[in-house]
Chain A
């Protein structure tokens, strides 16, 4: 655990500056279909500081990925639409940019890596070609210089004999190698924000660790920020400085990683932690959160978690709890729950 410890030290030093790189303010992304309106992201706000890693965690369908795609403005329109909110990147609202301005930011300042390394690389081009194209487009390098850059990036992400691998096709590489190529491609233009949408989910456990370490190392080298989207709490504990817990299109809790892991406040977060397997008490059934995630077409009124919450009251059904600062926390810790005190007894 030495890496995480040193990392947190350096991060604390950095936080002195604490310049926000990315701020989401009440972002709402809806999908319109014949069945109605799916409110996939419904009022998400969080802040990502320069140089830090923000983990976004939540169940499938809670809007994590749609939030990330909204930041990149890669929501398919129609049926999707960003109906409200602001995405401030270095204080600039990305939603007000033209298509051409946004293209200059994508891949250059904000890069993204995807969950499925099997399908995220174009099968008809060599991996080198795909990096070369990106670099030529954004950095205006010549083809030869771009090829050198591609080889350099491939060696940086730990691909052996990059001089020959650069001419390989994606199908000639293993899953882990492909994810490394994806990272090399995303990093090739030196972005200041890397959005990693479940980068390790499709990989086996040893490769997962390697990939996450690689991202952490690259982050240390370049000082970029990382928006890490995952449903894996272990991954969050390993790499994130702050955590945003999402449920049904909303952020329900936001805190520093140590703080959240020590004292989760929201009933949903508490439930999540409780459903982790406990190595100390094997042989027992895992506790689960009862019920299912509500459909994005019909969210319950008031607090969206109330249908699955054991301490829900009438108040929860009537009014939606705002994301409020927790009084006795040392760091920034906000929770959206009416019954914080009761939640501690869970």
Chain B
């Protein structure tokens, strides 16, 4: 009995160079599953498509070097009128101005002068953009004269205002004549040869949040490379250091993405544009803009850009899609027009207008996935529609899981009247038809107050959390009787700590799987809601609303492509959810 209880013979006693921690084991498990890897890769690519939709499919060019003849001519023409505008104020004294100031006019005399001066500055800036530097001094002199007028007016020197004002007017007239643009190929020596202005319309329209996700996803997609470099080269495969560096790596990724978005915002302004239509393509087509260099995205079509003549055009790589460039008629397939046998009359059709930068009419890549009822390119709409569908899916699933887990924990852990109250509430909620509830809630949400996308997310989460709550409650009822729960409390842990740190992780397996399913059902619910007109508003698209663009079996591409993507997403989520559930469960690995 006195033998010391060192228990030397009890353990396996094998010396181990390192011990694997929880996440080592989890990652090891995940790495062993090919289906998980496939699912993750496909999901990463789907999300990449959604995140990079502005880069992939857009009617804004990446780079545009163009001469805007219209803007230049207008600026040159307007120099006279803007001078008069400044002089109109300058010729009044301050007292006179304030006496018969209109209700909307600036409150001070100086403010009024500045308000008249600012169009002059912007016109001159437009002209300077298009002119070589040696032409600048004359225009700057013109601006200087206007500044002098302003200074004299403020000083109350009416004589100087008059003399300098006349000088400015004369100069404006001269500039209009001498600085007229010389069209390309024109023989005359009159006017100025303009140079192209470089701009980045696509980047300028991208908001900082879009930039953040784009940068983040670039890092995520290249993660295997970074991870390899950091672990092998920087940390020399030292498992202890790799473990310590895990968190810094993740936060570093987020930080890099954040910094990128800030740099982006400072470089391009970081405006948040709606992206639905941009004037560049039509201006380039009609000649208002003359491009010297223009680079369009691979799909140079905006998601709301319509080509009415191409409505319901089948995918352009199929034979039934070939159109006659002159008449606009289809050449083959069911939509090939038949002449009236007696009169030989062919119904007229509008030829398709090919806009600047677009592929040719019968190129295989003009509309790879066909078009919808308004002739909008379906592939572009699918790429953009993924933004809505994937966002709604993942956010609604996350939110409903959180709500369900909280209520399930409370009901299952505390039991008693808490349980009774929550369960009766859940039963009431479940006895109401969920779809009608969602539609009703959506009908009462003001789209100006909250973006319909987020409204759908919230409504789905508030109505669909009951399943998760019941799952968690069931698990809790099972786990509550386990001794480790009593042991946790015997160690002095509070109820909250016991619930969320000790019981909940044991109850997570079914929750993870149901969250994966919830993503799928969220995507489908959103599609139904959008179809019924309560969801995203046109021209915005989601995969679900795209499926409902047509119900005719002739328009097979409308149902097939978005349907396949929904199917792919749902399947991948289920594969990933399954693998993650197994990997997170420490009981399953030895």
A-side residues, CB < 8 A to B, are: 1-4, 69, 72, 74, 78, 103-108, 111-112, 114-116, 119-126, 133-134, 137-138, 158-161, 164-169, 171-172, 174, 176-177, 180, 182, 185-186, 209-210, 213-214, 217, 238
Interface pair A74/B489, CB less than 8 Å apart: yes
Interface pair B1/A167, CB less than 8 Å apart: no
Q: Which residues from 1 to 22 on chain B have a C-beta closer than 8 Å to any C-beta of chain A?
A: 1-8, 10-11, 13, 15-16, 18-22
Question: How far apart are the CA atoms of A185 and B502 in the complex, in Å?
Answer: 15
Interface pair A112/B490, CB less than 8 Å apart: yes
Q: Can you pick out 18 interface pairs between chain A and chain B where the beta carbons lie within 8 Å of each other?
A: A1-B1, A69-B486, A74-B490, A104-B492, A107-B492, A119-B482, A122-B488, A137-B491, A137-B493, A137-B497, A158-B5, A159-B10, A164-B16, A168-B19, A171-B587, A177-B10, A182-B487, A210-B7
Interface pair B484/A213, CB less than 8 Å apart: no
Decide if B590 is an interface residue (CB 8 Å cutoff).
yes
Decide if B416 is an interface residue (CB 8 Å cutoff).
yes
Decide if B252 is an interface residue (CB 8 Å cutoff).
no
Across the interface, B492 reaches (CB within 8 A) one of A123, A138, A209, namely: A138
Interface pair A72/B490, CB less than 8 Å apart: yes
Question: How far apart are the CA atoms of A166 and B585 in the complex, in Å?
Answer: 19
Decide if B586 is an interface residue (CB 8 Å cutoff).
yes
Question: How far apart are the CA atoms of A111 and B483 in the complex, in Å?
Answer: 14
Chain B residues with CB under 8 Å of A159's CB are 7, 10-11
Chain A residues with CB under 8 Å of B586's CB are 123-124, 169, 171
Chain B residues with CB under 8 Å of A2's CB are 1-2
Decide if B506 is an interface residue (CB 8 Å cutoff).
yes
User: 7 closest A-B pairs (Cβ-Cβ)?
Assistant: A107-B492, A107-B491, A106-B492, A167-B19, A158-B7, A160-B11, A112-B490
Interface pair B11/A213, CB less than 8 Å apart: no
Taking A159-B7, A167-B21 as given, write out 18 further A-B residue pairs in contact, using a Cβ cutoff of 8 Å, ordered by the A residue number.
A74-B489, A103-B494, A107-B492, A114-B490, A115-B483, A120-B486, A125-B505, A126-B21, A133-B501, A137-B491, A137-B497, A160-B8, A160-B13, A161-B11, A161-B16, A166-B19, A174-B10, A176-B7
Chain A residues with CB under 8 Å of B490's CB are 72, 74, 106-107, 111-112, 114
Given contacts A103-B494, A104-B492, A111-B490, are A122 and B11 in contact (CB under 8 A)?
no
B8 to chain A, nearest CB (A): 6
Given contacts A78-B416, A112-B490, are A122 and B484 in contact (CB under 8 A)?
yes
**SS class, residues of chain B in contact with chain A:** loop
Interface pair B484/A120, CB less than 8 Å apart: yes
B577 to chain A, nearest CB (A): 18
Given contacts A112-B487, A167-B21, are A122 and B506 in contact (CB under 8 A)?
yes
Across the interface, B487 reaches (CB within 8 A) one of A4, A103, A120, namely: A120
Chain A residues with CB under 8 Å of B491's CB are 106-107, 111, 134, 137, 185-186
Interface size bucket, B side?
35 or more
Interface pair A171/B590, CB less than 8 Å apart: yes
Given contacts A159-B11, A165-B11, are A123 and B506 in contact (CB under 8 A)?
yes
Question: How far apart are the CA atoms of A210 and B13 in the complex, in Å?
Answer: 18
Q: Mark B513-524, 1 if CB is under 8 A from A, else 0.
A: 000000000000
Question: How far apart are the CA atoms of A106 and B484 in the complex, in Å?
Answer: 15
Question: How far apart are the CA atoms of A189 and B166 in the complex, in Å?
Answer: 93
Across the interface, A177 reaches (CB within 8 A) one of B11, B505, B506, namely: B11
Chain A residues with CB under 8 Å of B1's CB are 1-4, 209, 213, 238
A123 to chain B, nearest CB (A): 5
Given contacts A103-B492, A107-B490, A122-B502, are A160 and B22 in contact (CB under 8 A)?
no
Question: How far apart are the CA atoms of A322 and B172 in the complex, in Å?
Answer: 119
Interface pair B7/A108, CB less than 8 Å apart: no
Question: How far apart are the CA atoms of A134 and B502 in the complex, in Å?
Answer: 12
Across the interface, B7 reaches (CB within 8 A) one of A111, A116, A164, A180, namely: A180
A213 to chain B, nearest CB (A): 5
Chain A residues with CB under 8 Å of B488's CB are 122
Chain B residues with CB under 8 Å of A167's CB are 19-21
Interface pair A161/B7, CB less than 8 Å apart: no
Question: How far apart are the CA atoms of A134 and B489 in the complex, in Å?
Answer: 11
Question: How far apart are the CA atoms of A74 and B11 in the complex, in Å?
Answer: 33
Across the interface, A120 reaches (CB within 8 A) one of B20, B483, B497, namely: B483
Chain B residues with CB under 8 Å of A114's CB are 483, 486-487, 490
- Nearest residue, chain A, Cβ from B25: A169
Chain A residues with CB under 8 Å of B506's CB are 122-124
- Nearest residue, chain A, Cβ from B506: A124
Question: How far apart are the CA atoms of A131 and B385 in the complex, in Å?
Answer: 50
Chain B residues with CB under 8 Å of A115's CB are 483
Question: How far apart are the CA atoms of A78 and B418 in the complex, in Å?
Answer: 12
Question: How far apart are the CA atoms of A115 and B502 in the complex, in Å?
Answer: 19
Question: How far apart are the CA atoms of A133 and B502 in the complex, in Å?
Answer: 11
Interface pair A160/B492, CB less than 8 Å apart: no
Given contacts A74-B490, A104-B492, A123-B586, are A160 and B21 in contact (CB under 8 A)?
no
Chain A residues with CB under 8 Å of B7's CB are 158-160, 176-177, 180, 210
Interface pair B10/A176, CB less than 8 Å apart: yes
Across the interface, B22 reaches (CB within 8 A) one of A3, A112, A126, namely: A126
Given contacts A1-B1, A209-B1, are A119 and B22 in contact (CB under 8 A)?
no
Question: How far apart are the CA atoms of A210 and B501 in the complex, in Å?
Answer: 32
Interface pair B492/A121, CB less than 8 Å apart: no
A112 to chain B, nearest CB (A): 4
Question: How far apart are the CA atoms of A133 and B18 in the complex, in Å?
Answer: 22
- Nearest residue, chain A, Cβ from B490: A112
Question: How far apart are the CA atoms of A217 and B22 in the complex, in Å?
Answer: 33
Question: How far apart are the CA atoms of A119 and B481 in the complex, in Å?
Answer: 10
Q: Mark B462-506, 1 if CB is under 8 A from A, else 0.
A: 000000000000000000001110111111111001000110011
Chain A residues with CB under 8 Å of B18's CB are 164
B483 to chain A, nearest CB (A): 4
B385 to chain A, nearest CB (A): 39
Interface pair A213/B590, CB less than 8 Å apart: no
Question: How far apart are the CA atoms of A133 and B493 in the complex, in Å?
Answer: 9
Chain A residues with CB under 8 Å of B4's CB are 158, 217
Chain B residues with CB under 8 Å of A116's CB are 483
Most buried by B among A1, A106, A108, A217: A106
Question: How far apart are the CA atoms of A138 and B491 in the complex, in Å?
Answer: 9
Q: Mark B280-301, 1 if CB is under 8 A from A, else 0.
A: 0000000000000000000000
A181 to chain B, nearest CB (A): 11
Question: How far apart are the CA atoms of A121 and B10 in the complex, in Å?
Answer: 19
A333 to chain B, nearest CB (A): 27
Chain B residues with CB under 8 Å of A133's CB are 493, 501
Question: How far apart are the CA atoms of A119 and B15 in the complex, in Å?
Answer: 27
Question: How far apart are the CA atoms of A120 and B489 in the complex, in Å?
Answer: 11
Chain A residues with CB under 8 Å of B587's CB are 123-124, 171
Q: Mark B188-204, 1 if CB is under 8 A from A, else 0.
A: 00000000000000000
Across the interface, A119 reaches (CB within 8 A) one of B19, B20, B484, namely: B484
Interface pair B5/A214, CB less than 8 Å apart: yes
Chain B residues with CB under 8 Å of A111's CB are 490-491
- Nearest residue, chain B, Cβ from A77: B416
A144 to chain B, nearest CB (A): 11
Interface pair B487/A217, CB less than 8 Å apart: no
Chain B residues with CB under 8 Å of A126's CB are 21-22
B13 to chain A, nearest CB (A): 6
Q: Which residues from 526 to 546 on chain B have a C-beta closer than 8 Å to any C-beta of chain A?
A: none
- Nearest residue, chain A, Cβ from B9: A160
- Nearest residue, chain A, Cβ from B588: A171
Interface pair A103/B493, CB less than 8 Å apart: yes
A20 to chain B, nearest CB (A): 22
Question: How far apart are the CA atoms of A109 and B352 in the complex, in Å?
Answer: 85
- Nearest residue, chain A, Cβ from B416: A78
A224 to chain B, nearest CB (A): 15
A342 to chain B, nearest CB (A): 38
- Nearest residue, chain A, Cβ from B482: A119
